[in-house]
Structure 1
């Protein structure tokens, strides 16, 4: 078995237990809490965004990685993708009810980290000093 289960490795009939190797919730959790998944979900809290606007908001993400991330989040039920009839066609992304609930919790985590970043830096420096000597 792999550390990150694939669809063929998991049993969807089992009760969700993220600590179990074969639990499908691990893959969903990984998608939502990946670097780009977390940022995309929280960026969409402010409203629907077109792909290009979302990419500008999530600074540093490549077009390919954002596309893959959004596909995973859409598959897991966190994000809606709507193709708007226009020339050229436009695509907008929005949060589902599940996505909005997840984004709220992830935003709390972001607020915690940003609010305590000085403490984190101090801890990192102390740890590095101990390790280096």
Structure 2
């Protein structure tokens, strides 16, 4: 009986440690309208560890406390999590309302991809 109890405890410890570690980090996954950007209408989507802009820029990110650190070829920086916003010197990301039906495919000149292809 003692061996079985120790075995169960040994198996549950790593699961509990992972669960506790994941509780401490904030999630920024979702879609955001980018404000304070040189081009209006750009949308950014944050996945599990990566982000993409509707303009084509992309990269990775990590969350450390209330800070999001972006690393990419053309977009880098540190952003503070303030409620439903990510605020930084370069851009501000505002979480997109699920009912927002405005286009999310705006390219670098504010055109949709269809407009840019002559369609």
Report the TM range for the smaller structure's normalisation.
Answer: under 0.3
Q: RCO higher in 1 or 2 (8 Å CA, sep ≥ 6)?
A: 2
TM-score (norm 2): 0.24
TM-score, normalisation: structure 1: 0.23
The structure with the larger Rg is 2
